[in-house]
Amino acid sequence: MSIVMTGGGTGGHLAIVKAVKEQLVSSTDKSNQGEDSTLNAQRSTLPTQLIYIGSTQGQDKQWFEADEDFGAKYFLETKGVVNQRGVGKLASLWMMFKAILKARKLLKQHKAKVVFSVGGFSSAATAIAAKTLGIPLVIHEQNAALGSLNKLLKPYSDVFISSYLEESPIKAYPVKEVFFENARIREKVRTVIFLGGSQGAKAINELALSIAPELKARGIKIIHQAGARNIDEVQNAYEALGIEAEVFGFTTKLADYMKEADLAIARAGASTLWELSATALPTLFIPYPYAASDHQYHNAKFLVEKELAWLMREDEIETKKILALLDEDLTAKSKGLMEIVERDGSEQIAALLQHYL
């Protein structure tokens, strides 16, 4: 029997799979501690497996093709359907139909007891296949604005999890414990971090460089995630301004950078938003304007309505208003973020999935 995890395409979706997967593996390891070797040997032969089913498109393979925590990994030929037109939409639907049939075979083969879907086009075939086979479907929605597929499948899910919905049985977002451990109350700005994601954000890069001289004049340190393709360009621009800045693209030290910062200026992808919140780091969000269903705007708005963040559209950036934030007392927002974010999101979801076994 197995727990099947599906979905992805983008890092925001896949980060949820990774967090919950790691918790499932960790809880299994803990249950084995203290048992004698014979019992451990017996336990290791039990037919409980973690299976991943994703797509050949998107970032699924990059994240999980070499992940040994999964007993088996499959990447089906699928494409997004929503943004296709005419012949392209028909071709995508045909690919989806074939992928559903393949997913049905895989779910039967691995005796799936539950399917955990994080949405995205990668999850469609397996989620639909689960419902045709009567296998429980648990969905995690990362964003305040529901994704197209999750909105379609929500009525058919056995459990629908969202940190933004009051009726959700689990409100805690799957955030790694290190972000909570790094939380501290901010009072004044000594370090600013600019977060455009590993791919970078042109608007945030330009904003950072435009206010860098003022930050330097105030003695404020700059940490800047410029994006892998933009590191040299942005670093050279800082050097031309005579300003020291820590510039990077992809990093495994993001939790440490967030811990050091007192104010963040960032996109509003779900994982980034909740990691910043868990770290109690007050943030000005500049959402990606072309995100599906404008979900980054709605993610940020969720915190803004609770007076725990600031929000500015990319085409409404005002330097004066941003510089004014440098003089704010951040204490109330920082404390408020500590109170709104629950720990153990991945642990709660893992326990729910294990219940089906």
Other CB atoms within 10 A of residue 244 CB: 12
Q: How many residues appear in the chain?
A: 357
Instruction: Decide if 354 contacts 48 (C-beta within 8 A).
Output: no
C-alpha–C-alpha distance, residues 103 and 352, integer Å: 23
Q: What is the pLDDT of residue 328?
A: 95
Q: Which residue is it, tokens 């050949």?
A: 56
pTM: 0.84
Work out whether the CA dihedral 123, 126, 132, 137 comes out positive or negative: negative
Which residue numbers in the chain have pLDDT < 70? 29-47, 79-89
Comparing CA positions, the residue from 263, 230, 262 lying closest to residue 247 is: 230
Backbone dihedral angles phi then psi of residue 297, each to the nearest 5 degrees: -60, -45
Q: What tens digit of pLDDT does each residue of 295-343 get?
A: 999 999 999 999 999 999 999 999 999 999 999 999 999 999 999 988 8
Distance of CA 232 to the CA centre of its chain: 27
What is the DSSP track for 249-302?
Answer: SS-S-HHHHHHH-SEEEE---HHHHHHHHHTT--EEE---TTSGGGHHHHHHHH
Q: What is the pLDDT of residue 323?
A: 97
Instruction: Decide if 196 contacts 267 (C-beta within 8 A).
Output: yes
**Region for 280 from its dihedrals, namely left if φ exceeds 0, alpha if ψ lies in -120 to 50, beta otherwise:** left
Those residues with Cβ within 8 angstroms of residue 277's Cβ, 6 or more apart along the chain or in another chain: 303, 308, 337, 340, 341
Half-sphere exposure (CA, 13 Å, Cβ side) for 179?
A: 26
Q: What is the pLDDT of residue 44?
A: 42
C-alpha–C-alpha distance, residues 137 and 157, integer Å: 5
Backbone dihedral angles phi then psi of residue 46, each to the nearest 5 degrees: -65, 145
SS3 178: helix
Between strands 159-162 and 137-141, the pairing is parallel
Q: What is the pLDDT of residue 88?
A: 64
C-alpha–C-alpha distance, residues 167 and 129, integer Å: 26
Q: What is the pLDDT of residue 72?
A: 96
- Structural domains of the chain, ranges and CATH numbers in brackets: 2-174+344-355 (3.40.50.2000), 178-340 (3.40.50.2000)
